[in-house]
Amino acid sequence: MFDLTAGADRRPDGLFALGHDVHGCACCAPMLPAVLEATYGRLDVAPSGIARVPRPAQVGTLILVNASILTMNALAPEAEAMVIRDGRVVHVGRRDEAKAFADGDSVIVDCGGRTVLPGFIEPHLHLIPIALLEHCENLGPFRYPSVNEALLALSRVTAATRAGDWVVGRQFDPSLQSGPRELTRDLLDAVSDTHPILIYNASLHIAYCNSFALKLAGIGADTPNPSGAEIGREADGSPNGVLKGGAAIALVARHNTALRNADPAEACLAVLRRANRVGFTTVCDQGTGLMQGAAELALYARLRESGAMTCRFRYSLGDARAADWDRAGIACGDGDAWMRATGWKIVSDGSNQGLTGLQRDPYRNADHAGIAYVQADALRDKVLQRLAEGWQVAIHANGDRAIDNTLDAFAAAAAAGLDVAGRRCRIEHCSILHDEHIERMRALGVSPSFLIGHVYWWGQAFRDVIFGPDKAALLDRTAACETAGIRWTLHSDEPVTEMGPLRCIQNAVTRALWRDPEHPLAPQECVSVEAALRAMTIDAAWQCHSDHEIGSLEVGKLADFVVLAADPRRVPVDQIGAIAVEQTWVEGVCVHARGEATGPGH
Ligand SMILES: [Zn+2]
Ligand SMILES: [Zn+2]
């Protein structure tokens, strides 16, 4: 079944040594910067210049009628009509009242009784890593449960690609995909010998290539291993296509000139358009600068200046690049409604599925309790400093000890008179929560954002392998937080899992497991559809310091909304994720219409 440590160091006694996190998330994957810079070069260099395709223009007055509007405004939760002028909501309520806004310039849209919600808000993803990985075909387990299916998909891609052009894939994960443990040169040659092929392992520590790519890179039996890395070999010394470590991967990746010449800003815009297609109107990056520091702000500036963004953007600065931010003099709240700095992100431990999340007790099948990426004293000092500067502090903490340390740091800040609650400090992932954690969070005014795909995709592994059933039941305690009156949100952490607000809502409502759907994980933590909708709209806006302008449909707010094919409250709970997003609107402009080319760049 699960081999969660495929690729990790296994000791002779069968325990897993602490070392490579084969499931490192983008927050804490040390390989990502090196591998992606080898592939794409520098982010502050714009090779071709961004295409300045403006967003479509707003119409005069837009009147939506015959809609089932869930406003997410607790004071007036439902409405049948909405009027929009200059990108803002000027009326939400009854149809007859809305008609009074009609003028010579107005457009009336009949929604056919369909459900209208505020645009969804993703409070935690990693924009630049996603954008750079967007050029790679996703061959991962959530799309292809077996290696064979992944290779068939790869064959379809190569068949549609001009001979000689690169085919690049990602997310190959032998711990979750059944079949061979490695993609060797021979397996990939069977897919194509007329295209160079390079496939990244989900961990990014390892990549695999075919003979065409090895030849382009000039790698043969005589090629020495680069320092700190290894070229996988057959018994006779010839390369077998497996590349271990960034320096070995770079030997091949740097020959992909199409990617080196691509403009990463264009790739970011493509990610924002994909976000629109699943219903997002705002996304928040949790770790800006982790790849290339201030160069990423230069890239953001080009995005904003392009006038071609179709999704709002918020970001937290990665603490690992603190010196860059201090030099740049950037402050919390800098920016505007399209793009704004809202947080300061600190990574305090690794991931539970990678056995690097910091625990109170050792993992079940290991003789260690994870890794503190920041020691408790240093964490407290960072929190005190950045809160005093006015930042919202967001701390990545997966294991229960990491959450202890995080709450200790916030408690020290509160004791020093700093406004922990007012700055809406967050715990990212916040995976393993004991009752006393929840009580401390409530008392301090700290709110969690849950990577809810942990339950669906890894829940069974947590229950059966990593933690056992008792501790696994403490994973992503949405209902317990709801009962305690704590505001909480859901996130994808893409590229860890794929962004999809309706899928996240379904995961939180059902807590079903990917390969054991009959046994939901800790069903007492299931929440109502209404609560999960709040988490993906108004509460996410609140966590991103943006609820004054987005997150609900009420007079004065920006007209960001989605039209869904069905009401998530009225379909079977296991169908919520499959509801079609018919339309997505940002600031009164339609940026996605299902089945139609909409907006710039389509
Ligand atoms: Zn993350
Ligand atoms: Zn993280």
The domain spans of the chain are 55-119+552-602, 136-260, 264-550
Q: What is the three-class DSSP state of 585?
A: strand
Confidence of residue 250 (pLDDT cuts 50, 70, 90): confident
- Transcribe 487-511 into DSSP letters: --EEE-TTTTS---HHHHHHHHHH-
Cα 481 to Cα 507: distance, rounded to the nearest angstrom = 16
Model confidence at 64: pLDDT above 90? yes
Query: Class for domain 136-260, per CATH?
Result: alpha beta
E-state strands within 333-488: 339-347, 392-397, 426-429, 447-451
| Ligand 2 centroid from CA 76, angstroms | 36
The model's confidence at residue 595, banded by pLDDT at 50, 70 and 90, is confident
pLDDT classification of 24: cutoffs 50, 70, 90: very low
Count, in order, helices (H) and strands (E) of the chain: 20, 24
pLDDT tens for 268-325 read: 999 999 999 999 999 999 999 988 899 999 999 999 998 999 999 999 999 999 999 9
Record the tokens describing residue 94, joined without a space: 């009854």
Decide if domain 264-550 falls under CATH 3.40.50.1100.
no
Confidence at 262, pLDDT banded by 50, 70, 90: confident
pLDDT averaged over the chain?
A: 90
Asked, colleague to colleague, whether 136-260 and 264-550 share their fold, the answer is no
Mean pLDDT calculated for residue range 362-378:
94
CATH topology of domain 55-119+552-602: Urease, subunit C; domain 1 (2.30.40)
pLDDT per residue as tens digits for the range 440-466: 999 999 999 999 999 999 999 999 999
pLDDT band at 45 (very low <50, low <70, confident <90, very high): low
**How far does residue 493's CA lie from ligand 2's centre (Å)?**
7
Ligand 2 mean position, distance from CA 26 (Å): 7
Q: How many residues does the chain have?
A: 602
Gap from CA of 262 to ligand 1 centroid (Å):
25
- pTM of the entire structure? 0.89
Q: Which ligand is located closest to the Cα atom of residue 28?
A: 2
For residue 396, the CA-to-ligand 2 centroid distance in Å is: 5
**Confidence tier at 40 by pLDDT (50, 70, 90):** low
| pLDDT band with cut points at 50, 70 and 90 for residue 19 | very low
All residues at 6 or more sequence positions from 176 whose CB lies less than 8 Å from its CB, including other chains? 2, 140, 141, 145, 457
Burial-class residue 421 by CB neighbours within 10 Å (0-12, 13-18, 19+): middle
Lowest mean pLDDT among 11-25, 233-247, 326-340: 11-25
The predicted structure's pLDDT at residue 601 = 39
Average pLDDT in the 500-523 region? Answer: 97
Q: Taking the mean position of all CA atoms in its chain, how far away is CA 476? A: 16
How high is the pLDDT of residue 247? 84
Q: List CB-based neighbours of ion ligand 2 within 5 Å.
A: 25, 27, 396
Q: What is the reported pLDDT for 32? A: 65
pLDDT of 5 strictly over 60: no
473: CA distance to ligand 2 center in Å?
20
Interval 427-432 mean pLDDT: 98
d(CA 350, CA 30): 11
- pLDDT bin (cut points 50, 70, 90) of residue 34 is low
CB 352 within 8 A of CB 368: no
The stretch 21-42 carries a mean pLDDT of: 58
Q: Ligand 1 center to residue 25 CA distance, Å?
A: 6
Q: How far is the CA of 28 from the centre of ligand 2 (A)?
A: 6
pLDDT at 31 (0 to 100): 56
